Amino acid sequence: MEAHYPFTLPPLPFAYDALAPELNEKTMLFHHDKHFAAYVDNLNKLLEGHPEYHTWSLEKLCQDWPELTEDIRQGVRNNAGGVYNHDLYFKTLAPTPASTPSGALANAVARDFGDVVALKSAMKAAALGQFGSGWAWLVSDCDGRLSIQKTPNQDTPLPLFPLLCCDVWEHAYYLQYQNRRADYFDAWWLLVDWPRVSQTYAEHAASRSRCPQP
């Protein structure tokens, strides 16, 4: 999301019931229209009285929040992260049959994990191993090397390049899966929009040329 203040809620790119049965309509409705929307609204309210930050991009807010004035510092950390993370989460879901990584991403998965099964296993371990609320991530670094990360609360893995994220806050799955985070992860995995993730990885290749050289 390249935007800056005032932030807007991106519409869900498919119908609320389009991901059923893996993620049902009620789960999607509450997650997108209530939780995601609240992060957008809260971030705008925090920044409203601080025009000095209105030109900051979402990525800059997520990364440089320690530089903000103390009165909004923690709030912006939480809510800018909430906007960034949910934006990627909903963009990388699709109501299409499961596919696999393609192109440069497929080669990178083979190089860094061995195969897609090993990638899923590593990401699932991160999702289940995140104590409390947080996220599991597939990211690439400046060299295009892939890794799995996990972050607590609404922290992001920036400045690494996020490719895919699984929301393991209970609000992402509790209405449907209750405490069964592993079942939720397996269902979520079936909905990953691999063509989109592969495209994002290819786009990041252009950015990587701007990474600082050692």
CA 214 to chain centre: 28
β-bridge mates for residue 149, sequence order? 137
The nearer residue to Fe ion, 87 or 167, going by C-beta atoms, is 167
**End-to-end CA separation in angstroms for the chain:** 28
Residues making contact with Fe ion (CB under 5 A): 167, 169, 172
Q: How far is the CB of 123 from Fe ion (least distance, A)?
A: 17
Which residue's C-beta sits nearest to Fe ion?
167
> Nearest 5 degrees, angle CA 107-CA 85-CA 82?
170
Q: How far is the CB of 113 from Fe ion (least distance, A)?
A: 26
Contact 69, 76 (CB under 8 A): no
Task: Tell which residue, 173, 179, 170, 181, has the closest CA to residue 125.
Answer: 181
**Residue 37 tokens, joined:** 């929307």
83 contacts: CB under 8 Å, gap ≥ 6: 1, 7, 36, 39, 40, 43, 58
The nearer residue to Fe ion, 164 or 172, going by C-beta atoms, is 172
The nearer residue to Fe ion, 101 or 134, going by C-beta atoms, is 134
Q: How far is the CB of 151 from Fe ion (least distance, A)?
A: 13
The nearer residue to Fe ion, 102 or 133, going by C-beta atoms, is 133
Q: How far is the CB of 21 from Fe ion (least distance, A)?
A: 20
Interatomic CA distance for residues 173 and 138, integer angstroms? 20
The nearer residue to Fe ion, 39 or 65, going by C-beta atoms, is 39
The nearer residue to Fe ion, 181 or 204, going by C-beta atoms, is 181
Q: How far is the CB of 115 from Fe ion (least distance, A)?
A: 29
Contact 133, 85 (CB under 8 A): no
Q: How far is the CB of 22 from Fe ion (least distance, A)?
A: 16
